[in-house]
Structures are given as C-alpha cells and as structure tokens.
Structure 1
Amino acid sequence: MKNKAKIALVTGASRGLGKNTALALAKKWVGVIVTARSSEAKVNSLVSAIAYGGALRHRRNR
C-alpha cells in the first residue's frame, strides 16, 4: 500500500507549539485531531483555519 492515510493527535492545540504543530501537519495533508484544556473558541478557530486552508489548497490543485 503506497498511499497510507496519516493522522496525528495534537494536544495543547489552542496556542503556541501545539497550534503551530497542528497547522504545519495540516499543510502536509496529515489528518489532525486537536485537543486543548483551555479555550474552546481558540480550538474552533484553529479547526476553521485548517479546514479553510485545506479547501484553498484543494481548489488550487484542480
């Protein structure tokens, strides 16, 4: 199997290193699961950024 799906679990993704790691992995087309103990709004913002960025990359590659 050549094309194996990759999924990463990133903890502490609401800010700092966790957030930057989640964004970097998403840019490399790795599926990202994010968790955080603090702000739900920050996590939702990150998820939106990942989803929106993925849509732009997908559209650009067509």
Structure 2
Amino acid sequence: MENSIKKWMKRLEEYIQKSDENQLSMYKKLKKKATAEIVKLQLQLPKSIVLLAFPMVI
C-alpha cells in the first residue's frame, strides 16, 4: 500500500483517537477491511481512490 494512503489513515486515526474512543474502534475495523481490499486490488486501481464510510445505525 502506498505511503500517502498510510499517512492519511494514520492522521485520521490520530484525529479520531482524540475525539471519541468509541468511534476509534469502529475506525480500526473499517481500516482493517479497507487495507485488505486496497492491497488485494492495488494493481487494478487507478492512481487515486475515494473511500466513503458511513456508520451503521442498528
């Protein structure tokens, strides 16, 4: 996975960590899934991607 994506994800995690611990656990689960999918498809992806995530309301 490219360094710029890793840096962006790390900064986002730090921001979430400062604001809400509950959201941090949700973010970590999403990050794990997103990272796995990006790595799996990285040769097929264009130079940029847009990742949208919305909290699920149960």
Q: What TM-score, normalized by structure 2, do the two folds share?
A: 0.42
Greater share of helix: 2
Greater share of strand: 1
Q: What TM-score, normalized by structure 1, do the two folds share?
A: 0.40
